Amino acid sequence: MLGQNDDAAEATETSEPIDEGDSSHIADQSIVDDDDQLVTRVIQHLVAPAVPPQASKDHANSIHESNKEGVKAYAKIAAVDWTYYITRLTVNIGRLSEPAQARTEQTQEDPDAVHIDLGPSKLISRLHAVVYFNRDQETWWLLVKGRNSLKVDGTLWKAGQAGPLRSGEVIEIGGVEMMFVLPIDLGPLQIARPYLERAGIVKAEPPTAPARPTRHPLPSSGDGAHSSSPSKSSRGQSSQKPLAPAPPDYKRPGTPPSIRARGATTAKTPLIELGSGPLLMSHSDVDLALDENRHIKPQFSYAQMITQAIINTPDQKLNLAGIYHYIQTRYAYYRHQPATGWQVRFILLWHSWFEV
């Protein structure tokens, strides 16, 4: 478990950067006393937006420093001036339209509750990413849910992609960089070289020039062999013999049909298989009514699901209880979700549609 005082030590800024050799992830410990100082120094050089996110107020480092008792946590997500200590098995990262009001309305059971608010930037989706503990893999995972994607150590992760998180990896969402850190006894600290270079912990590698393509030697003209490129006479005419004209019925070959067919029918496969976290998926991919697929969240809005329920009745009329029954029967995800979350949203949407 992490304690809040793990970040208190400050790295000395007078240390000279050194060359770490062939290692691209682990910093040389000779200029920092321990992992805590290393994390603190790298975090000070992470990118932060011009307009501070709401998380800078909600989870400011000054708040944790005033808490003398400390914080016990599974892990932490740290940025330049704020730190979120992970004390639950699922953490939602996103944006609230009205942070103060919306936060009081959220409940601990709400699966869509935002714990790290990176607003007000519109580049942040309402629910942009989920950090959760994958019980099957016994590791922490990251799931991308925002349409604007995100980056992990500079690598683009698209919506629907999920994968394990290493201690020291930097997550970038909408211009906000933050580092995921585990206790040292749960995983070694691995920080990518670009962030170590920013902090002056290792020397920046000089840019390497692209390799020049190797040219094949031309055959010698002394043995009577012809050159691979036509030689020009003083009048600009080629010394090679002219080609014979093409027959009248000659047709230029086109693209082989097999290549076109292969390009049109190539199917895209998912980027990575998700463990125990929710996954957005079309209903045409799997049977979402089965209990074994309860971790898959349908890729439909609440309004779309209400429309589905109504048009699938003989007389196309349905009350609110009937809509609940249809959705729970059709989608195992909502059948296994607390009713205090998604059903309340349906009530609000229902009244907004049919209020006189």
Domains of the chain: residue spans and CATH: 4-198 (2.60.200.20), 279-354 (1.10.10.10)
Q: How far apart are CA 91 and CA 77, in angstroms?
A: 10
Q: Which residue has the higher pLDDT, 339 or 78?
A: 78
Whole-number pLDDT of residue 85: 96
DSSP 167-190: TT-EEEETTEEEEEE--TTTS---
Mean pLDDT is lowest, of 172-181, 194-203, 302-311, for 302-311
Highest mean pLDDT among 99-113, 224-238, 243-257: 99-113
* Strands of the 176-181 sheet, one edge to the other: 83-86, 75-78, 176-181, 170-173, 150-152, 155-157
Q: How far apart are CA 295 and CA 71, in angstroms?
A: 31
Q: Amino acid identity, residue 252?
A: R
Is the pLDDT confidence value at 195 over 90?
yes
Please compute the mean of the pLDDT values over residues 202-221 and round it to a whole number: 64
Give the strand pairing for 279-281 and 296-298: parallel
Is the pLDDT confidence value at 285 over 60?
no
Is the pLDDT confidence value at 279 over 80?
no
Identify whether the C-beta of residue 303 lies closer than 8 Å to the C-beta of residue 349.
Answer: yes
Q: Which residue has the higher pLDDT, 290 or 151?
A: 151
Is the pLDDT confidence value at 21 over 50?
no
Whole-number pLDDT of residue 190: 94
Is the pLDDT confidence value at 101 over 90?
no
Is the pLDDT confidence value at 152 over 70?
yes
SS (H, E, C) 214-264: CCCCCCCCCCCCCCCCCCECCCCCECCCCCCCCCCCCCCCCCCHHHHHHHH
Is the pLDDT confidence value at 196 over 80?
yes
301, two tokens: 């809005």
Is the pLDDT confidence value at 262 over 50?
no
Identify whether the C-beta of residue 134 lies closer than 8 Å to the C-beta of residue 277.
Answer: yes
Percent of residues, the chain, with pLDDT higher than 70: 63
- Phi/psi of residue 283, nearest 5 degrees: -65, -15
Mean pLDDT is lowest, of 82-86, 171-175, 225-229, 316-320, for 225-229
Is the pLDDT confidence value at 342 over 70?
yes
Cross-strand pairs, 279: 296
Whole-number pLDDT of residue 77: 98
What's the pTM? 0.53
**What angle separates helix 302-311 from helix 339-354, to the nearest 10 degrees?**
70
Is the pLDDT confidence value at 272 over 60?
no
Whole-number pLDDT of residue 30: 42
DSSP conformation class of 8: -
Whole-number pLDDT of residue 336: 84
Whole-number pLDDT of residue 70: 75
Please compute the mean of the pLDDT values over residues 107-135 and round it to a whole number: 90
Q: How far apart are CA 74 and CA 2, in angstroms?
A: 6
Average pLDDT, the chain: 74
Give the pLDDT band of residue 73 (cuts 50, 70, 90). very high
Give the strand pairing for 176-181 and 75-78: antiparallel
Please compute the mean of the pLDDT values over residues 238-259 and round it to a whole number: 52
DSSP conformation class of 91: E
Degrees, nearest 5: CA angle 180-84-273:
45
Q: How far apart are CA 79 and CA 234, in angstroms?
A: 70
174-199 residues labelled b (16+ CB within 10 A) or e (exposed) = bebbbbbbbbeeebebebbbebbbbb
Is the pLDDT confidence value at 227 over 60?
no
